[in-house]
Structure 1
Amino acid sequence: MALLRRIEPVIVLEQLGNTLFDTALQMVVKDRSDNASYPGMSPEDSRQKAITDFYMIYNLVVRFTPILPALLLARLSDRGWRKAPIVVPLSGYLLSRLALLLVVVSGLPVTVMYGGAFVFGLSGGFGAFWPGVMTVVSLGSTDTDRSKAMMVVELLYGMAGLVGSLVSGHLFTLYTSSLGHGSILLIVSTLLHLLCLLLAGFLLQVKDVGSRAPQEEGQLLSPASDEAPVVEVEVEAAVEVAVGINKVNVALLFAAAFLYDFAVGGAVEILGAFVLKAPLSWTAAQVGYGNAAGCGIFLTSFLGVIAFRRWVSDVDLILIGMLSFASGIFFMSFVTATWMFYLARSLNLFALIPMPTIRSLLSQQVPSSLCGTFLTLLQLTLKVAGLVYIPAFTKIYQATLHWLPGFVFMLASMFTVLGMIPVSMISWRMPWRRRYERIPGD
């Protein structure tokens, strides 16, 4: 029961259901796009255009709709309703999975999923869920252990995705004559999301490590002095809010996160369609294995943090991760065989280090009372990046299909290098550069 009251089981169940859904959606869209036809385009190019057009609209709805709901849920979180940004989005997850199950079982057009994406967005979506999770993790860890705690969460998220992806392709091929391909996969995904919602709603507990120490100290004071510490704490909190925000560092962290998410999101946006076209032409099982390779990066990134954090700072960790992604995605531009795809993925070993480390640094630049708001603002900044890179990368990919389909991956590598600039500027502003200065004694 103690384990079930933690955030980790919620993360595992959510990601298991999510990876099953992603594979199902990708294969359903592929099957429904096989008969697509556009004037002046070959059947293969027509299918690629249909797939990328669907994902462009679908992902724009997913990223644009949650902005206001996520902000509202963030305010509720900072006012004490810490579970709201977790429970409400999970209900949206459940409804969107039911929508795809309805599409498969009833034979409805795949465009029905635009409505499912809209409902998912109204619940706050991932833009509310993940900051809510990170807020719970931040409150439950100290400043020194926060980066590690966030990477543990990322590790569990990735391992759950790895397991889900490995089995998703095989579950997709299981079907009954009355339901069709993907129905069993979607039923399992829906049940996992239902269990996750019940777990978060009724068992999850939120602990605040930071607020425990002052309370324990207050118990050591005599009853006559009870009022003085309360006034002192209130004054300190007011001062913390007034001067506790390092605006320049916050701006640099937001810029680095925007550029890196622009690069990663744009590349991943196209990668799903890229592996379905010739010469790769992946099956459902291969799609699952490819998604599992992406989830495996969570493990290698976690091990990278454990190995490097003893000798390098958080800023250096971000730069290592960005360099890893830039090299791997550049090589992806020239992939023409499945083994080359996995070789390119192997260069992305530490590509997931930057974002949780950026969130950790951001949480240290603002007072704890505004942690949830700023983490949500960061997530919404990434949503804005999505509103730009989704149509941009989609149209560039469609325009370069004939001469270099991987050109968008070169662009992603370039934007990653640009994202390293604000990170390098932060390294000269952070106080840890003075921690090795020797203080002369008496």
Structure 2
Amino acid sequence: MALLRRIEPVIVLEQLGNTLFETALQMVVKDRSVNASYPGMSPEDSRQKAITDFYMIYNLVVRFTPILPALLLARLSDRGWRKAPIVAPLSGYLLSRLALLLVVVSGLPVTVMFGGAFVFGLSGGFGAFWPGVMTVVSLGSTGTDRSKAMMVVELLYGMAGLVGSLVSGHLFLLYTSSLGHGSILLIVSTLLHLLCLLLAVFLLQVKEVGSREPQEDGCLLSPASVDAPVVEAAVGINKVNVALLFAAAFLYDFAVGGAVEILGAFVLKEPLSWTAAQVGYGNAAGCGIFLTSFLGVIAFRRWVSDVDLILIGMLSFASGIFFMSFVTATWMFYLARSLTLFALIPMPTIRSLLSQQVPSASCGTFLTFLQLTLKVAGLAYIPAFTKIYQGTLDWLPGFVFMLASMFTTLGMIPISIISWRMPQRQRYERVPGD
């Protein structure tokens, strides 16, 4: 019962249901795009255009709609309603899964999911849910352990996605004569989201670490800076470092989000032409990066700073996604994925650094602002990467992955500036402490 009152079961159930839904949506969109035809385009290119156009609109709705609701939920969180940004989005998750189930069972057009995405966005969406989760984790951990605590959450999230992805493709193939392919998969997904919502409403408890150190409310970039809590409290928030963290997060999310946006359609086209089971395995490979990134944090954090961890993760993704540009076989896809084994280190580490540079009373708001910054990145990369991909299908479909690698490299610049600023700042803070 004590375990059920923690945030971890909510995260696991949500991600299990979400991975089942993502595979179902991907395969339903593929099936509904089989007969797509555009003037001057081959049947294969027409299918790719139909799939990417659907996801472009769908993801724009998912990312744009939650902006105001997420801000409202963040304010409620910082006023004491810590469960609000978790419970409200979970309601939206449940309704959007029911919408896709209705599309499959009733044979409605897949464009109905635009409405489901809108409802999901009004509930706050992932832009409210994940900052809400991270706020709960931040309040329940000390500054020195926060990076590790956040990576544990990311690990659980990834492992749940790994399990869900492995079984999703096989569940999609199960059907009854009256319901059709994907119905059983979506029923399981809906039940998981319902259970997750009930757990969050009735059992989840939010606990704050009783003895929060005063320096945790200041701007902490590494354990070495704990020697000067008084100076930190007087100086306040380091706006330059906060701005650099936001810039790095924007550029990295622009690269990762743009690549992942296209990757789902890329594996469905020739020469890969993946089946539902292969799609599930591919998604599982992506979720496996949560485990390798967590192990990377555990292994590297003894010798390098959080800033160096971010740079390692960015370099890992840049190399792997560049190799993805030339993938023509399934084994090459998994080889490219193996190069990105530390790609999930940067974002939770950036969140950890950010949460340590603001007062605890504003933690939820700042984390939500960061998440909304990533939403703005989505509004830019979704149409940009989609149109570039459609325009390069004939000569190099993987060109967008080269662009993603380039933007990742640009994202390393503000992090490198923070690394350059750290020694000078720490020396300045230690003088009054002595």
Normalising to structure 1: TM-score of the pair?
0.92
| Percent of aligned pairs with the same amino acid | 94
Asked if structure 1 preserves the Cα contact closer than 8 Å seen for 2:218 and 2:359, the reply is no
Partner of 1:227: 227
* CA 293–221 in structure 1, closer or farther in 2 if over 3 Å, else same: closer
Asked if structure 2 preserves the Cα contact closer than 8 Å seen for 1:102 and 1:108, the reply is yes
* CA 273–208 in structure 1, closer or farther in 2 if over 3 Å, else same: same
Offset at residue 30 of structure 1 (A): 0.1
What secondary structure, in the 3-state scheme, does the structure 2 residue paired with 1:287 have? helix
CA distance in 2, matches of 1:416, 1:223: 27
Residues 27-54 of structure 1: per-residue CA shift (max 9 Å, x gap): 0000000000011111100000000000
Offset at residue 433 of structure 1 (A): 7.3
CA distance in 1, matches of 2:349, 2:224: 44
What secondary structure, in the 3-state scheme, does the structure 1 residue paired with 2:109 have? coil
* CA 179–137 in structure 1, closer or farther in 2 if over 3 Å, else same: same
Offset at residue 428 of structure 1 (A): 2.1
Residues 206-237 of structure 1: per-residue CA shift (max 9 Å, x gap): 01115667999999999999999999xxxxxx
- Runs of at least 5 residues in structure 1 that lack an aligned partner in the other structure: 232-239
CA distance in 2, matches of 1:37, 1:225: 61
Asked if structure 1 preserves the Cα contact closer than 8 Å seen for 2:144 and 2:223, the reply is no
What secondary structure, in the 3-state scheme, does the structure 1 residue paired with 2:45 have? helix
* CA 68–225 in structure 1, closer or farther in 2 if over 3 Å, else same: closer
CA distance in 2, matches of 1:410, 1:367: 39
Offset at residue 364 of structure 1 (A): 1.0
CA distance in 1, matches of 2:91, 2:29: 24
* CA 36–226 in structure 1, closer or farther in 2 if over 3 Å, else same: closer
Offset at residue 362 of structure 1 (A): 0.3
CA distance in 1, matches of 2:223, 2:117: 56
* CA 302–68 in structure 1, closer or farther in 2 if over 3 Å, else same: same
Q: Give the structure with higher Rg (CA).
A: 1
Deviates more, 1:366-375 or 1:112-121: 366-375
2:366 to 363, 366, 374: 374
Aligned residues: 434
Offset at residue 363 of structure 1 (A): 0.6
CA distance in 1, matches of 2:282, 2:153: 22
Residues 347-389 of structure 1: per-residue CA shift (max 9 Å, x gap): 0010000000000000111111110000000000000000000
Asked if structure 2 preserves the Cα contact closer than 8 Å seen for 1:139 and 1:210, the reply is no
Offset at residue 248 of structure 1 (A): 0.5
Asked if structure 1 preserves the Cα contact closer than 8 Å seen for 2:217 and 2:359, the reply is no
* CA 404–154 in structure 1, closer or farther in 2 if over 3 Å, else same: same
Offset at residue 432 of structure 1 (A): 8.9
* CA 210–432 in structure 1, closer or farther in 2 if over 3 Å, else same: farther
* CA 313–28 in structure 1, closer or farther in 2 if over 3 Å, else same: same
Asked if structure 2 preserves the Cα contact closer than 8 Å seen for 1:142 and 1:210, the reply is no
Residues 76-104 of structure 1: per-residue CA shift (max 9 Å, x gap): 00000000000000000000000000000
* CA 432–133 in structure 1, closer or farther in 2 if over 3 Å, else same: farther
Offset at residue 429 of structure 1 (A): 2.2
2:256 to 258, 264, 273: 264
Deviates more, 1:204-213 or 1:346-355: 204-213
* CA 47–227 in structure 1, closer or farther in 2 if over 3 Å, else same: closer
* CA 269–82 in structure 1, closer or farther in 2 if over 3 Å, else same: same
Offset at residue 441 of structure 1 (A): 13
CA distance in 1, matches of 2:433, 2:214: 31
Offset at residue 289 of structure 1 (A): 0.1
CA distance in 2, matches of 1:297, 1:402: 31
CA distance in 2, matches of 1:280, 1:259: 29
Offset at residue 180 of structure 1 (A): 0.3
Offset at residue 245 of structure 1 (A): 1.5
Deviates more, 1:307-316 or 1:221-230: 221-230
Residues 220-277 of structure 1: per-residue CA shift (max 9 Å, x gap): 999999999999xxxxxxxx89852111010000000000000000000000000000
* CA 346–226 in structure 1, closer or farther in 2 if over 3 Å, else same: closer
Offset at residue 430 of structure 1 (A): 2.8
Partner of 1:157: 157
* CA 331–307 in structure 1, closer or farther in 2 if over 3 Å, else same: same
The Cα RMSD (Å) is 5.4
Asked if structure 1 preserves the Cα contact closer than 8 Å seen for 2:51 and 2:265, the reply is yes
CA distance in 2, matches of 1:83, 1:21: 24
* CA 390–439 in structure 1, closer or farther in 2 if over 3 Å, else same: closer
* CA 126–216 in structure 1, closer or farther in 2 if over 3 Å, else same: closer
Offset at residue 309 of structure 1 (A): 0.1
Residues 84-134 of structure 1: per-residue CA shift (max 9 Å, x gap): 000000000000000000000000000000000000000000000000000
Deviates more, 1:12-21 or 1:206-215: 206-215
* CA 403–222 in structure 1, closer or farther in 2 if over 3 Å, else same: closer
* CA 349–221 in structure 1, closer or farther in 2 if over 3 Å, else same: closer
CA distance in 2, matches of 1:58, 1:397: 17
Deviates more, 1:214-223 or 1:60-69: 214-223
Asked if structure 2 preserves the Cα contact closer than 8 Å seen for 1:218 and 1:226, the reply is no
Asked if structure 2 preserves the Cα contact closer than 8 Å seen for 1:69 and 1:124, the reply is yes
Asked if structure 1 preserves the Cα contact closer than 8 Å seen for 2:175 and 2:181, the reply is yes
Asked if structure 2 preserves the Cα contact closer than 8 Å seen for 1:241 and 1:367, the reply is no
Partner of 1:354: 346
Deviates more, 1:71-80 or 1:212-221: 212-221
What secondary structure, in the 3-state scheme, does the structure 1 residue paired with 2:269 have? coil
Asked if structure 1 preserves the Cα contact closer than 8 Å seen for 2:218 and 2:358, the reply is no
CA distance in 1, matches of 2:396, 2:221: 71
1:342 to 322, 334, 353: 334
Asked if structure 1 preserves the Cα contact closer than 8 Å seen for 2:292 and 2:342, the reply is yes
CA distance in 1, matches of 2:92, 2:324: 34
* CA 440–142 in structure 1, closer or farther in 2 if over 3 Å, else same: closer
